[in-house]
Structure 1
Amino acid sequence: MSSSASLRNRLIIAASAWIAFGMVLAWLILSNVFRSHVAQQFDDELFVHLAELKRLTHVEDGRAVLRAPLSDPRYDVENSGFYWEIQQQGNVLARAPSMKAAPLNSPADGRSDNGVHTHRIQGPTGELLVAESLEWKDPGKPPVQFIIGTDKRHLDSVLDSFNSTLSWSLTALGLSMVAAAALLILYAMRPLAQLNVALHDVRSGRLKSLPGTYPSEVQPLVDNLNSMFASTTELVQRARTQAGNIAHGLKTPLAILTDEAYRLKAGGCDTSAETLLAQCRKMETQIDYQTTRARVVASRLSPGASADVGNVVSEVIAALSRIYAHRGLHFEVDMPAALRVACEAKDLQEILGNLIDNAGKYARDKVRVSASATYSGLIDIRVSDDGPGLPPEAHDVVFNVGERWDTQSAGSGLGLAIARDLVTLYGGKINLGTSPLGGLEAFVQLPAGE
């Protein structure tokens, strides 16, 4: 993956973040609603028990007696967290069997009504939620205060249990929604993945156009790409034809000029003839170089270029073996089968033909050609010989058009320049170095094809 996130991952991350936000918001809302509901239930239960306590209580002579126990047995269990108490002016008239600690201290708010009021106070076993009410049994005496309460821990226990269940339930729901969203996004992005594979096949040479049908949102893009591929192929053919026409148009007059130069030389005008011949050779070199370059640029624009390295090497060596047969030159090939580069076969022949021919010119006994694939999607090709090699300062010079380090040998000085330009135009690189055989080694790296 590139440094920036893919569209698929962005959509999945955005959907996950939105689902997570929704789950957290749902947890907060449901938890608060449930808290309010349970708290109201606790209050209602206290009100019912308070009314029951008042109904069952008989107050006489500073004492309060219940005609029957409360219906909830938890008020009879010691320190159960369910308590009631009857007071008058701070004096305890009666209390629940569960009470064994100090009297309940309900806030003295100076009220004069007999309505029910709720408070939170400290009870025998922790914070207590209480409901209390005043009742005037005798108009001439202070009111009797009825207090009933439940430990807040009982409310918290119910809330904690609900929140725990709510948490894992919403987490499971959120994860299932994220998984469903991811599957939906992957399904929706599948046509783009198929398009990417098809484009790769076109670039690697397996296809000339994008096949198949796509959703209505993607199909116009596919149609436009196929039209572009078709027009590019047509432009390439025109460019190749034009390059050939230019070469033919220039070489015919150049051949006439060369012939005239030889006539001048035969007529005794040696100086003028040599000048013309030298300039004609330079023109011929430039024409060959520029027309080859134009042809390669056109080939590079054409989609679907791919060549088998092994086949090209075999063809080149088969041709050169006959040329160098009188020298007994031995050619070694070391490469795996079905190794392909993203390059036109003719251009790969041009590259390797120049490199292997150059190695054959200077080799004493042996020329070795090896190739291997890298993990970065490139193909490494090495051409080595056991000849005299070149000094390091000559490695860059020999790539210049018309330049030769050994001026005594035959040649135009164009082969390595063409090889360099071809490799560069296909997005590769070429370098010279010292061969393990003792001579010169040419190292070429080209994108892998299919």
Structure 2
Amino acid sequence: MLRKGSIAASMFWLSAAWLVLALVTTGVLLTDLYSRALDTTLTETLDFHVESLTGALLETGDPQSPDITLADPRFERPRSGWYWIIHDSDGALINLSTSVVGLDLPQLDMDDDAFGRSSGIVADPFGTQLRVVQRTVTLDGQGYRIAVSGNLTEMLKLVSDFRGQAFIVLGAVGIMLAAMSAFVARIALRPIARLSEAVEAVREGDSAEVSGTYPTEIAPLAEEVNELLRSNAQIIERARNQVGNLAHGLKTPIAVLRNEAAAKKGALADVVSSETEKMSNMVSTYLERARLAARTSVVGKKADATMIMLRMTRVMRKIHPNVTIAFQRPDASLPWFRGDEADLEEMAGNLLDNACKWSSGQVGVRLSAERGDKGTQLLVRIDDNGPGLSEADAQKVLRRGVRLDEKTPGTGLGLDIVKELVDVYGGSLELKRSQLGGLLVELRLPTARLGGLVRPQGN
């Protein structure tokens, strides 16, 4: 099926428009040629009849002789449109065919050519169009004008019938050619569809590069895409190395300043200690952001969310043995997470760990697929039966380092790290009231295809 806006559809409609124009033009030209051929044949037939009458006139020597006749039976049938008449030089009627009896035919008002011949079109009293050929001959010094007419209306009807049949045939040919054009367009554009599937496979993580053999017209495009992927991987690798070098280069001087300030007393030492702490936090913040951005910029990664959540619930059950974690395992049709496995572990681990810390002994975990404006997304829902959060507190805890309860161990960076990762992947994070009485966390992330893998069974 040709989709609107596709190359195949554009080729089809352009071809169809050209076919319509070409076939209509062909039909008009064929009809005109056929009309000319019939008119030429009619004129030649009339010329032959004029010659026959001239021969009969010269043979009998009497223009009124009943032996002057034509064998064509149409000249015997009234109103047939096939008539012959002989006039003298004064215009008086001398002889005529049986078909003319009782009719007053108009004469041609045309001059003869060098051979004493003229031709034209008139109409009989019944409105029939006639093609007339007339010739002047001389017998015994007396001039006679012989006129023979043929039924032009019959010929025009043949032309009309031919035109209708021609356009029916050309229309059928046009439909077949249009179908062939659509078929050829689809066949010719199959390599582009294969290239699109190969690029999609790279994006979904099924392949590391665009593979396959393509025609010479699009083979360079496939190579450029692969080169772009290789260049992207190299740039990310260099960025990771630079981030690591920067972290190592900054942390050591900051640690030296912090230690020196701690060994001294006074206002200057306090200022240095306070500012180095800010510097350390700022360096950690931006290095973490750079690390996340570099890691999630790699094309073609995906992870099985079901297996990751199974693994995380096992870990959390060991870390929080007093908490009951209920994981509702989804069916095998659940799409995969399109991203790095470690990132999903970090997001899910932080959220699940917070739920266990704040719960009163009960935590629920659910995975599902949700369709929305951004297409199909992976929905991770984690809720607990703890104290929960107000709407204002829910917005506040997403800020870096903010903690509502200093008694609970932690740095306050967990939710903010999750938020950073969610933003990088173009997902969303919402904190709501749970039906268990505590906090409900809804995490939405992009999805990838299953990739043909089979998930193991069991918890």
Structure 2 length normalisation: TM-score? Answer: 0.81
Q: Does 1:329 align with 2:324?
A: yes
Partner residue in 2 for 1:17: 17
Q: Distance in 2 between matches of 1:127 and 1:360?
A: 103
Q: Does 1:366 align with 2:363?
A: yes
Deviation at 1:208, TM superposition (A): 0.9
The verdict on how the C-alpha distance between 1:396 and 1:44 changes in structure 2, with shifts beyond 3 A counting, is: farther
AA partner of residue 161 (structure 1): D
AA partner of residue 163 (structure 1): R
Partner residue in 2 for 1:28: 28
The verdict on how the C-alpha distance between 1:112 and 1:288 changes in structure 2, with shifts beyond 3 A counting, is: closer
AA partner of residue 120 (structure 1): I
Query: After the TM superposition, which of the residue ranges 111-120 and 334-343 deviates more from structure 2?
Result: 111-120
Q: Distance in 1 between matches of 2:83 and 2:118?
A: 16
Deviation at 1:306, TM superposition (A): 0.9
Deviation at 1:149, TM superposition (A): 1.9
Partner residue in 1 for 2:315: 319
Partner residue in 1 for 2:188: 188
Q: Distance in 1 between matches of 2:119 and 2:440?
A: 96
Matches within 5 A, 1:219-298: 219-251=219-251, 285-298=281-294
Q: Does 1:347 align with 2:316?
A: no
Query: After the TM superposition, which of the residue ranges 190-199 and 343-352 deviates more from structure 2?
Result: 190-199
Percent identity between the two aligned chains: 26
Structure 1, unmatched stretches of 5+, are: none
Q: Distance in 2 between matches of 1:251 and 1:144?
A: 127
Deviation at 1:387, TM superposition (A): 4.0
SS in 2 for 1:442: strand
The verdict on how the C-alpha distance between 1:273 and 1:381 changes in structure 2, with shifts beyond 3 A counting, is: farther
SS in 1 for 2:98: coil
Partner residue in 2 for 1:212: 212
Partner residue in 1 for 2:452: none
AA partner of residue 380 (structure 1): L
Matches within 5 A, 1:368-407: 368-374=365-371, 377-385=375-383, 386-405=385-404
Kept after mapping to 1: 8 A contact 2:430/2:442: yes
Partner residue in 2 for 1:413: 412
Matches within 5 A, 1:147-166: 147-166=147-166
Q: Distance in 1 between matches of 2:427 and 2:311?
A: 22
The verdict on how the C-alpha distance between 1:112 and 1:300 changes in structure 2, with shifts beyond 3 A counting, is: closer
Q: Distance in 1 between matches of 2:244 and 2:2?
A: 41
Kept after mapping to 1: 8 A contact 2:61/2:139: no
Q: Distance in 2 between matches of 1:378 and 1:311?
A: 19
* Residue correspondences, number: 443
Kept after mapping to 1: 8 A contact 2:60/2:67: no
Deviation at 1:388, TM superposition (A): 4.1
AA partner of residue 103 (structure 1): D
Kept after mapping to 2: 8 A contact 1:285/1:402: no
The verdict on how the C-alpha distance between 1:63 and 1:30 changes in structure 2, with shifts beyond 3 A counting, is: closer
Kept after mapping to 1: 8 A contact 2:116/2:135: yes
Query: After the TM superposition, which of the residue ranges 276-285 and 221-230 deviates more from structure 2?
Result: 276-285
Structure 1 length normalisation: TM-score? Answer: 0.82
The verdict on how the C-alpha distance between 1:318 and 1:112 changes in structure 2, with shifts beyond 3 A counting, is: closer
Kept after mapping to 2: 8 A contact 1:85/1:104: no
What's the CA shift string for 1:274-298, capped at 9, x where partnerless? Answer: 9888767655554443333222221
AA partner of residue 154 (structure 2): H
SS in 1 for 2:22: helix
Q: Distance in 2 between matches of 1:132 and 1:281?
A: 120
Kept after mapping to 2: 8 A contact 1:82/1:149: yes
AA partner of residue 419 (structure 1): V
Kept after mapping to 2: 8 A contact 1:92/1:103: no
